[in-house]
Structure 1
Amino acid sequence: MPVSVIFGGQFGSEGKGKVAHYFAKELKAKAVIRVGGPNSGHTVIKPNGEALVLKQLPTASILDNVYCIISSGSYINVDILLKEVLQTGIKDEFLYIDPFAVIITEEDILNESKNGLKESIGSTGSGIGSALSNRVNRMSSLRFAKDVEALSKYICNTKSMVRHFLLDNERIIIEGTQGFGLSLLHSDLYPYTTSRDTSAAAFVSEAGISPLDVDDVIMVIRTYPIRVGGNSGPLPKEINWEKVTNDSKSKFPLIEFTSVTNKVRRVAEFDAEVVKRAIEVNNPTKIVLNHCDYFDLSGNELLKSQLIISKVKEIENLINSRIGYLGLDRDSIVERNLYANNTIAKVLK
């Protein structure tokens, strides 16, 4: 059965939204399922060049005729979701929400503000941890999507819907959130983790799909891994954005802000250890390396392309795995072989 699962191999913000959008088009996906919740922002570039950050909807929501599904393993901030429906212009008939997706309440957000997690571990304070805790503790006050009138027109048994698509041999994509290095179950950095497991297997479970349906596991990593700003936990080989700017020979300062909290991201040089653990647990069939443009922003395209291929080979040797796709800027992804062949052609000229 044709299911692709997309997960992050570092600490989040690897560019999974861009990758999910790319493969939704490339694989002609019938539907994209978003799991997790609004503590993770996925960025996609609209046809007019505008960057759109989505915290609830899959990035494929800006595509025509792709069903967008929010699964029962999701956590919904209703105000954020309805705002994104307007921003994307998604038609009602292409958005479906499982009745047992959990609603994040104002009380959940307040609880996370009171418990000090923002200060102690760099939590986004989005209320997901509190809502998840209420779910695990089986609190009678827990609200589901089926209990919210504003969502009623989108409510659907998404498990049955997805199974119907799979029986018709349609491609389904699961858009995972955050990064494997933040997994509540598998990270060695506890308590500096998120409130859920962030492995490919967990995303399949949250989507309501059998592991036997999966034939494609896509790991997304980036050349310079990041963590959110503040006291968010260890980041091996941490540097600063000034060094990234200087090393890239950029003519303008490079700096990134988190899409949810708008804090300056912490940044580091590439470290293979968390990526190798992610490969060990998730066994990806495809690997995408984003932010390859950070290797050289001097403006010399021939030198840049040669340097990128050289750096990619270095990273492949470090992680003992082949990288199949390269993210070259904020919205482009290219197959590594096509990029390498193009580079060779330039040299032969």
Structure 2
Amino acid sequence: MSISVLVGAQWGDEGKGKMVDYFAQKSDLIVRFQGGDNAGHTVINDYGVFKFHLIPCGIFNKDCQCLIGTGVVVNPDVLLEEMQQLTEANISLAGLKVSAKAHILMPYHQKLDELMEVSGGIGTTKRGIGQAYAYKAMRKSLRFEDLLNLENAKKKLADIILVVNKQMSSYGIEPYTVEELFAKCEAWASKISFMIVNPTSFLHERIDADKNILFEGQLGAMKDIDLGIFPYVTSSNPVAAYAAVSGGFPAKKIDKVIGVAKAFSSAVGAGPFPTEEFGGTIDMLRGTGEKPDDEFGARTGRSRRLGWFDIPVLKYTHAINGFDELALCKIDKLDDLPVIKLCVDYKLDGKIIKEFPNTEDLERVEPIYITLPGWLSDTSKIRRIEDLPENAKKYIKTIEDLVGTTIAYVGVGPNREDLAIR
């Protein structure tokens, strides 16, 4: 038995979908443990190209069960859309389950998100994620267990709607009715009830049966609501420890933490991004959007902000996650670069700093770079790290030495099998 947690080591969009799809081939259970449908995990394998926002990326292994966990806020309409996409591709959904304790993202959450962004937001995806978590914290929320007791759900809606409509009134928006929201709950219950499970007993049964379990994080550690670049963060905790918190099991049972990083940096939305550059060499990494691994958001299609690899960020996310190993994705995107910049330190007010700065200071830091030679050769067919070009291995070794962990997997293309392994 093993429990592993896979999380983003940067700002999100690191390649987690690809890596979960790879690890799922030897897993008995994959658990999405936080977030919502505000970000996408792209999977490319023999079945095609898929962009998942809620369903765990282990769904392609028919022997692997998939649980949308307690820490996720779930828009049932989006879930049903993803289920339909998989059904049309002849992918079995028999192993897909939803935690009874997961909170339901309602239409008014998304509407409030849209309204708040218009009045001065932080660049959210307007999917209602933050508002769903806010209502969860206010205890004005429905959980999936309420779809198993619709009369109880209707009573709760009558209480919740009082708060919702006061907010809507402040924006000059027509109020919601209990009847229209309850009708949606009835429709969801008819299609989803059979998938709802008690998450604690479901997970502990598999822990006790010595199953291989992988927890799938969404976004990256720099977007963690407590430890990230607040307020330019998500509304949950995409760090490894939260897998145990939301999963309801002792953290000491986690055997391995896998960080996923990209061979350069990217970010979506507002906030500090020290190594960001525009045009020139860095823009060569973006692509045109025609390929599924080009640098455009899987959820929004927005062009990502791009920059060089940032060692201070990786050292910080390693400190708060404890990476046993790293997967370094998209190194093939650097194949045509004659030289590659690597940020190794920050300078603030003329002095090199050792502590990771707060958000305001991160806006002001000056990145300190070293320059490494590129390898100017195709890495896409290489399957062992030891067979990579010497300068590629030097780049990897430099990152390992500076961060203090091992890079065990190197992504050399978008497909599941496009991996060089140690």
The two structures have a TM-score, normalised by structure 1, of: 0.87
Q: Deviation per CA, 1:234-291: give whole Å up to 9, x if none.
A: 11110236423558999x9995110111100011101111110111111111111011
Is the partner of 1:62 in helix, strand or coil?
Answer: coil
Query: Could you say if the C-alpha distance between residues 219 and 247 of structure 1 is closer, same or farther in structure 2, counting changes exceeding 3 Å?
Result: closer
Does the Cα contact within 8 Å between 2:285 and 2:295 map onto a contact in 1? no
Please state if 1:327 is matched with 2:411. Answer: yes
Letter in 1 for 2:18: K
Is the partner of 2:43 in helix, strand or coil?
Answer: strand
Does the Cα contact within 8 Å between 2:20 and 2:216 map onto a contact in 1? yes
Does the Cα contact within 8 Å between 1:248 and 1:296 map onto a contact in 2? no
Please state if 1:292 is matched with 2:292. Answer: no
Where in structure 2 are the equivalents of 1:75-90 lying within 5 Å?
A: 75-89=73-87, 90=91
In 2, Cα distance between the equivalents of 1:115 and 1:202?
27
Aligned to 1:114: 115
Please state if 1:233 is matched with 2:282. Answer: no
| Count of aligned residue pairs for this structure pair | 328
Query: Could you say if the C-alpha distance between residues 29 and 304 of structure 1 is closer, same or farther in structure 2, counting changes exceeding 3 Å?
Result: closer
In 1, Cα distance between the equivalents of 2:52 and 2:307?
25
Pick one of 71, 83, 88 that aligns with 1:73: 71
Is the partner of 1:80 in helix, strand or coil?
Answer: helix
Aligned to 1:261: 300
Q: Deviation per CA, 1:151-196: give whole Å up to 9, x if none.
A: 1010111221121111111100100110001111112x21111111
Query: Could you say if the C-alpha distance between residues 327 and 144 of structure 1 is closer, same or farther in structure 2, counting changes exceeding 3 Å?
Result: same
Does the Cα contact within 8 Å between 2:5 and 2:215 map onto a contact in 1? yes
Letter in 1 for 2:231: P
Letter in 1 for 2:227: H
Please state if 1:219 is matched with 2:220. Answer: no
5+ unaligned residues in a row in structure 2: which ranges? 148-187, 338-375, 380-386
In 2, Cα distance between the equivalents of 1:61 and 1:223?
27
Identical aligned residues as a percent: 28
Larger radius of gyration: 2
Q: Deviation per CA, 1:272-315: give whole Å up to 9, x if none.
A: 11110111111111111011101214883379733321211222
Where in structure 2 are the equivalents of 1:57-72 lying within 5 Å?
A: 57-72=55-70
Letter in 2 for 1:8: G
Where in structure 2 are the equivalents of 1:86-97 lying within 5 Å?
A: 86-89=84-87, 90-97=91-98
Deviation at 1:225, TM superposition (A): 1.4
Where in structure 2 are the equivalents of 1:185-200 lying within 5 Å?
A: 185-187=226-228, 189-200=229-240
Aligned to 1:32: 30
Letter in 1 for 2:237: D
Does the Cα contact within 8 Å between 1:249 and 1:296 map onto a contact in 2? no
Aligned to 1:340: none
The two structures have a TM-score, normalised by structure 2, of: 0.72
In 1, Cα distance between the equivalents of 2:68 and 2:285?
40
